Amino acid sequence: MRLPRRSIRLMRTVAVCCCAMACVSQASAFTGQQATPEQDAAQQLALQAQRAQVLLRYRAEHAACMQRFFVNACLDASRKQERSALAPIDAKLQEIALRARMRAAEAEMRQVQANIAAAQAGQPDSAQAERQSAAREAALAQREEQAAARARQAAAAAPNAAVPSSTSREAAPAAPRLFPAPASQPALTPAQRAAQAAKAQADYAAKQKAYADKQAEQARRDAGQKQAAPLPAPSPSAPLR
């Protein structure tokens, strides 16, 4: 199941808050009193200058040890004294750095707490969310009911508009004709129909006779052309012996 983004952000902020509180408690265990950032800055500068002087002094002692017979013993003793002199200075510098980290952790924790409070204040409660959802559903149902009522009214008005009244049909004038009506032809008698059929048959027979005469004339022309064709030339006679 995937968590919403707001829940993930809240979980991250709570984790950061826990880390910051652990860092603050650890810093409080090491430091007995809280100094201001200005005091820590001034003390840090003084300690760094003191440390530089210690290093410079023991560097000169290391150079002097190189001129003695027992060089290693002299260097070991000088380095031991140097570490003893630098230890309190380094401890105080670490305390200053730890207090700076503690201030940063406290500021981050306050910012995280403010973010959590703002997120909780901006998130509506469940009752308000339910009321808003119910209001949206009621508005949607009202819109659907209004749309259904309009559809019923339109369906009821459609038949009245589609079917005209009898009085309107009687009062409506006839549309004028764009073209005149064709004249009606008189009906033929049986004798007239028989005469038309005989005439059509005679015309058909005349056409058939004309076609046959034309074919016979063409055949005679073809026969005459064949008779008038020249005879083939005789072949040359064989030579005498």
What integer pLDDT is reported at residue 109 of this predicted model? 87
Query: Each residue of 25-43: pLDDT tens digit?
Result: 555 555 455 778 888 899 9
Q: From the CB of residue 28, how many other CB atoms can be counted at a distance below 10 Å? A: 13
The separation between the first and the last C-alpha atoms of the chain, rounded to the nearest angstrom, is: 132
Question: In the chain, pLDDT over 70 holds for what percent of residues?
Answer: 66
Q: What is the pLDDT of residue 89?
A: 92
Higher pLDDT, 88 or 2: 88
Length in residues, the chain: 241
Asked whether 60 and 145 are in contact (CB, 8 A), the reply is no
Q: Would the pLDDT of 120 be above 60?
A: yes
Residue 130 has pLDDT above 70, yes or no: yes
Rg (CA), the chain: 64
Cα(213)–Cα(205) distance, integer angstroms:
12
Give the model's confidence band at 201: pLDDT under 50 very low, under 70 low, under 90 confident, else very high. Answer: confident
> Which are the contacts of 16, defined by CB distance < 8 A and separation ≥ 6?
108, 109, 112
Look at residue 1 in the predicted model and tell me its pLDDT.
43
The pLDDT of 153-173, averaged and rounded, is: 59
Among residues of the chain, what percentage have pLDDT more than 90? Answer: 10
9-18 burial, b if ≥16 CB within 10 A, otherwise e? ebeebeebbe
The mean per-residue pLDDT over the stretch 229-235 comes to 58
178 vs 45 pLDDT, higher one: 45
Mean pLDDT of the chain: 76
Mean pLDDT of 62-68: 86
Listed range (13-27, 44-58, 162-176) with the worst mean pLDDT: 162-176
